[in-house]
Structure 1
Amino acid sequence: MRAFAELLDRLSLTPSRNAKLTLVRDYLRATPDPDRGWALAALTGDLTFDAAKPAFIRKAVEARMDAQLFAWSYDYVGDLAEAVSLVWPRRPGANREPELSEVIEGLRTASRAEVQRLIEGWLDAMPEARERWALLKLVTGALRVGLSARLAKQAAADMGGVAVAEVEELWHALHPPYEDLFAWLEGRSEKPSSENPARFRPAMLAQAIDEAVDFAKLDPADYAAEWKWDGIRVQAAHEGGVRRLYTRTGDDISRTFPDILDALDDDGVIDGELLVIRDGRVASFADLQQRLNRKSVDAKLMAAFPAAIRAYDLLQEGGEDVRTLPFAERRRRLEAFVARQASPRIDLSPLQPFETWAELAELRASPPAGDPQIAEGLMLKRWDSIYEAGRPKGPWFKWKRDPFLVDAVLMYAQRGHGKRSSYYSDYTFGVWTADDAGQRVLTPVGKAYFGFTDEELLRIDKFVRDNTLERFGPVRSVRAEQHHGLVFEVAFEGLQRSTRHKSGVAMRFPRINRIRWDKPPGEADEIGYLERLLEQMEGR
């Protein structure tokens, strides 16, 4: 458990992607089976314990110290695992601290009634706060160490000197603690079989285009263009009677979208965008969110938010892998494949004809009529490109629309997680409106937690602490008046109507674009500006 705790601790404090990659790769090389397999499962999100609840942990620590003192400690630290690990009273003469595999096996076999006793015993046996923190992060499933599942798989691939796409294509045929995977990566056995029906194929991704450089080198005749729809990228597979739906990172979301899977009649694998489509028109991303991250769906929800795939590409047709065919041929086959499905749940992303880059720029500036907030920009694909896992330079480009900008005022701040748990790094901001008495007041319109440097974070955190009006647990209300407050220039991809927000609007992908230390809060934007912008997006 000690080596795993050190890995999590170093990952949480390391901002560099390559440094994180090296840390995980070295850990996998140095750690024996099965501990390294269980660690990899935890890092990729494939390890969860339903019986281990945060409430158990809080109950356990409150039995060992004053509940109010712990509440104050938790409020100050802002993270349950970190707070408990710091205040947990040491017990002299405690048993030997457990290995990672012992913890995993204990939690997998324990009943709900036994889990709290197990966790308390392990915490008592751990002499250092770092080990206790790692244990609590593990059992609650909230690692938050800034490492994606794909980066963890990349580290495993690097360990064996193979492409990450090979590991990704095997992944859904593997089971923790992945001893067969490590045996192959270390040259001790043959490669595990990936021939499981409806497996995930690693996705091909696009490079962001540099208008000033790339267009001068590229011939528009070599590329096809289509809209980049604002949903989530998915892969739908039907093979040997098995149907699966995956996100672009390989997460299986099949049980949430049975209506999509039922629409796949022919054997094949398609790549596309998951959207909610009503009467042929794409609905807002907020509608799609009603279907995401659910354990199950009923007929009423499926009827209210009808999901569909707007198909981009064909990866498998019948028993033939077509990824090595040129895009032009795959597109021809995709058109025929979608036509055979004859379902409103699967349609085709139309190609957008153009002859010059200037003509394409005009198209980018004029998204589909009535749906400008649904198209994020354009995709460019070489007609002769194969479907290659990862993000190769040149075959595919994404040309996103310029973001919208609004000046908003900081209203509330909340502590972050992981290495930011001691800083106020999550910000709720608002724009001006009029209350019932005609007075100018702020109304919240969004929340963001990135887009600023570490140095800027320290300045904002100090501003929050110096200008706090009220405290609500980890959240602080910040002074925000006409002549006193902090203005953020916020970038966002689109707007949609929302009954959940007091302002009536919700932002898509908001982030801090610039901190306007120079601007008086009274000069920030008003809700009318966002309402007019929303009307333009809706094509009114």
Structure 2
Amino acid sequence: MKNFAELIKTLDSSNKTNVKVDALTHYFKNASDEDKVWTIAILSHRRPPRPVNTTLLRIWANELANIPLWLFEESYHIVGDLAETIALIIPVANEHSDKSLSEYLREMIVLKSKSEEDKKAYLQQNWLALNYYERFVFTKLITGSFRIGVSQKLMTKALSKAENVDEDTLAYKLMGNWNPNTVTFQELILDEQSSDYLSKPYPFYLAYPIEGDVSGLGNPEEWSVEHKWDGIRSQTIIRENEIYVWSRGEELVTDKYPEFHSLVGNIPNGTVIDAEILAFNNDEIGTFNDLQKRIGRKTISATLLKSNPVILKAYDLLEWEGKDIRNLSYAERRNLLENLIDSVKDKNLPLHLSERKELNSWDEVAEERLLAREMRSEGLMLKRKSSPYQVGRKKGDWWKWKLEPLVIDAVLTYAMRGSGRRSNLFTDYTFALWGDNENGEKELVTFAKAYSGLTDEEFRKVDNFIKMNTIEKFGPVRSVVPKLVFEIGFEGIALSKRHKSGVATRFPRILRWRHDKTIEEANTIDDLKEMIP
């Protein structure tokens, strides 16, 4: 644990890519194979289930610190991170632990089934046996919310340097449904596992946003244009008469979309399709809000399948006839995909083609982009016809050109402290618009939360206003005198029964502080609903 904690400390204290890669490379060269597997798992978001809820963690840490609970809670609100708060308030360790990272994680897995008394004893004993940073990392692992500023790409680069294995090969090996509690480092990284091939997806290729004038991409005839669909990015794999559907987050979601099983027997074995999962109601693309009715459901009833059907909107082919074809050009892969979908067009399958357009000028591309909301898309994807399908986010060949956000002026009504470097400031805000109550009187109705878009100086000014104009406190949340108006931008909008406003917005964020407007000039809920397509 000591070496892993030192690694995390180094990673957490630098923004320099080279420093992080060097630290990871050194760690992978010196750690035990078992610890390396768990480190890879943790940094690629594969962690054991949380064995203890955060309420009990707070109570037991508070007991050990021997301070009033209100003081712990106030400290927590100031620090903004539970693991860091616990690491700070517990007395300096008098003992020392030589247990490895993998030993601790095996214990945490077993801990989940223990009694509360045993859990308390285990946590308090280990908190006292670890120094500050080890205690911080230990608690992070317990909470299951371990996040550090290292992308999987950086980790893969370091692992490649340490083990002399090709980066793209490693990226492929780390995809799929492997278990750090059962797989060995040899099996995961060094061996060729033909048995793993059956369900394994390929690393996704990601686009960069267009910056500046789109004409900077050169000759428009070198590019294919298609709409950027607002759903769930996925890979659908059909091999040996089995189907596997993976989300971009490397979650196997096959069982959540049983309608896709109809592809088996109709799509040839040895096929991998890159596509977007979209809601598809009444023969038209639905909103992301419609799709959310399917996301997270443990069981999919016949009623839900009928009322909220989904489709695959396919835009690339990664494997054909059992061969990896990612090195073929985009144009060649698309021709194969289009021929495949054309061959099954009469079978009423939930597989649709994402139409590609070849436009002759950037003005035509700009005009197509303006149709995005009408098409229920977020904007356009621009793909160089000659481009291979690469790994991760690479500049040059794939670009996304999203629509300008929808905007509305709203009133700040609630605030909560931020996290990380903003944990001492109120930076997480709730906004409201004007609506009518039961008596027909005007009132502010909350509709969205946002925590990005202001400068550090603006955040400090808003924080000062909140502290001077708090009406009530609800734990970490404060209600605020309604006075400040902000322009809020968002990508999409849909009716929603889950929200008091009756409307759900997608990706809301602050665009600017409207110093020139009073709250009376803020928009209404009706204004918001008029934006619904």
Q: TM-score if structure 1 supplies the norm length?
A: 0.86
Is 1:223 paired with 2:228?
Answer: no
Measure, in 2, the Cα distance between the counterparts of 1:19 and 1:492.
36
Measure, in 2, the Cα distance between the counterparts of 1:27 and 1:486.
49
Inter-CA distance 295–164: structure 2 relative to 1 (3 Å threshold): farther
* Matching residue within 78, 81, 101 for 2:83: 81
> Which residue does the alignment assign to 1:96?
97
TM-aligned CA deviation for residue 505 of structure 1: 1.4
**Which stretch of structure 1 is more off in the superposition, 148-157 or 136-145?**
148-157
> Which residue does the alignment assign to 1:362?
367
TM-aligned CA deviation for residue 491 of structure 1: 1.6
**8 Å Cα contact 1:410/1:478 also seen in 2:** yes
Is 1:349 paired with 2:350?
Answer: no
> Which residue does the alignment assign to 1:309?
312
> Which residue does the alignment assign to 1:119?
123
1:429-440 alignment runs, 5 A limit: 429-440=431-442
* Matching residue within 491, 503, 519 for 1:505: 503
Is 1:180 paired with 2:181?
Answer: no
TM-aligned CA deviation for residue 277 of structure 1: 0.8
Measure, in 2, the Cα distance between the counterparts of 1:159 and 1:487.
52
* Matching residue within 439, 449, 452 for 1:450: 452
1:218-297 alignment runs, 5 A limit: 218-265=218-265, 266=267, 267=269, 268-297=271-300
Inter-CA distance 394–125: structure 2 relative to 1 (3 Å threshold): closer
* Matching residue within 523, 527, 530 for 2:528: 530
TM-aligned CA deviation for residue 272 of structure 1: 0.8
* Matching residue within 396, 399, 402 for 1:400: 402
Unaligned runs of 5+ in 2: none
**8 Å Cα contact 2:78/2:423 also seen in 1:** no
Partner deviation per Cα, 1:279-320 (whole Å, 9 max, x = no partner): 321111012122224455444433332222100011112312
Inter-CA distance 52–158: structure 2 relative to 1 (3 Å threshold): farther
AA matched with 1:276? A
> Which residue does the alignment assign to 2:430?
428
Measure, in 2, the Cα distance between the counterparts of 1:356 and 1:409.
42
Inter-CA distance 437–79: structure 2 relative to 1 (3 Å threshold): same
**Which stretch of structure 1 is more off in the superposition, 510-519 or 405-414?**
510-519
**8 Å Cα contact 1:150/1:249 also seen in 2:** no
Unaligned runs of 5+ in 1: none
> Which residue does the alignment assign to 2:4?
4
Inter-CA distance 73–384: structure 2 relative to 1 (3 Å threshold): closer
* Matching residue within 133, 136, 141 for 1:133: 136
TM-aligned CA deviation for residue 449 of structure 1: 2.0
**Which stretch of structure 1 is more off in the superposition, 296-305 or 243-252?**
296-305
Measure, in 2, the Cα distance between the counterparts of 1:471 and 1:16.
39
**8 Å Cα contact 1:413/1:476 also seen in 2:** yes
> Which residue does the alignment assign to 2:42?
42
Measure, in 2, the Cα distance between the counterparts of 1:20 and 1:430.
42
Measure, in 1, the Cα distance between the counterparts of 2:171 and 2:261.
22
AA matched with 1:83? T
Inter-CA distance 532–261: structure 2 relative to 1 (3 Å threshold): same
**8 Å Cα contact 1:165/1:390 also seen in 2:** no
Inter-CA distance 423–394: structure 2 relative to 1 (3 Å threshold): same
**8 Å Cα contact 1:197/1:239 also seen in 2:** yes
Measure, in 2, the Cα distance between the counterparts of 1:427 and 1:281.
35
Partner deviation per Cα, 1:360-394 (whole Å, 9 max, x = no partner): 211211237xx45x211111223332222234443
Measure, in 2, the Cα distance between the counterparts of 1:21 and 1:447.
35
AA matched with 1:324? N
Inter-CA distance 14–304: structure 2 relative to 1 (3 Å threshold): farther
> Which residue does the alignment assign to 2:61?
61
Measure, in 1, the Cα distance between the counterparts of 2:40 and 2:456.
29
> Which residue does the alignment assign to 1:201?
202
1:453-468 alignment runs, 5 A limit: 453-468=455-470
Q: TM-score if structure 2 supplies the norm length?
A: 0.87
Is 1:108 paired with 2:87?
Answer: no
AA matched with 2:41? A
**Which stretch of structure 1 is more off in the superposition, 458-467 or 235-244?**
458-467
TM-aligned CA deviation for residue 112 of structure 1: 2.7
**8 Å Cα contact 1:430/1:446 also seen in 2:** yes
Measure, in 2, the Cα distance between the counterparts of 1:127 and 1:451.
37
